[in-house]
């Protein structure tokens, strides 16, 4: 029983560490988005839409679409360049991070 509790505690610690790493990564990546979108997602420097308040699935769909060049408005070339280097995991982490701004 003690062993079970210990391994449970250990796996919880691993889960928490993993989600903290994910959040840190998204925050680090978002630093380079913030120039246009603002640290809180409300800046519209390049006439870009406000990100604050968007749902995670909407953000993930937009970023995947920019990466695949199948999504976007008149200024999509800007975001295609931004999204090109993002992995699927980066997109997922960013979507979760931005949706909580
Ligand atoms: C050089 C300025 C600039 C930077 C840097 C930038 N963006 Fe954008 N972003 C824009 C513009 C402009 C648009 C609108 C593009 C269009 O016409 O489709 C946009 C659109 C978006 C959208 C779509 C929003 C919607 O409602 O459709 C998302 C999501 C987004 N950006 C996320 C990001 C993320 C995440 C990063 C960093 C990896 C980033 N952006 C970096 C300028 C920028």
Q: Whose CA is nearest to atom 20 of ligand 1?
A: 48
Tokens of 35: 């120039």
Contacts of 17 (CB under 8 A, 6+ apart): none
Q: Residue 50 — very low, low, confident or very high, per pLDDT cuts 50/70/90?
A: very high
CA of 88 to the centre of ligand 1 (A): 17
Quote the pLDDT of residue 34.
96
Average pLDDT over residues 46-51: 92
On average, the pLDDT of the chain sits at: 88
Region of poorest pLDDT, from 3-12, 41-50, 64-73: 3-12
Q: Residue 46 — very low, low, confident or very high, per pLDDT cuts 50/70/90?
A: confident
């Amino acid at each position: 029983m003690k062993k079970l509790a210990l391994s449970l505690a250990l796996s919880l610690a691993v889960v928490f560490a993993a989600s903290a790493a994910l959040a840190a990564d998204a925050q680090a990546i978002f630093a380079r988005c913030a120039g246009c979108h603002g640290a809180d997602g409300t800046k519209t420097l390049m006439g870009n839409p406000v990100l604050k308040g968007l749902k995670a699935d909407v953000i993930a769909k937009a970023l995947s679409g920019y990466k695949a060049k199948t999504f976007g408005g008149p200024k999509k070339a800007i975001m295609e360049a931004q999204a090109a280097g993002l992995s699927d995991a980066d997109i997922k982490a960013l979507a979760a991070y931005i949706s909580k701004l």
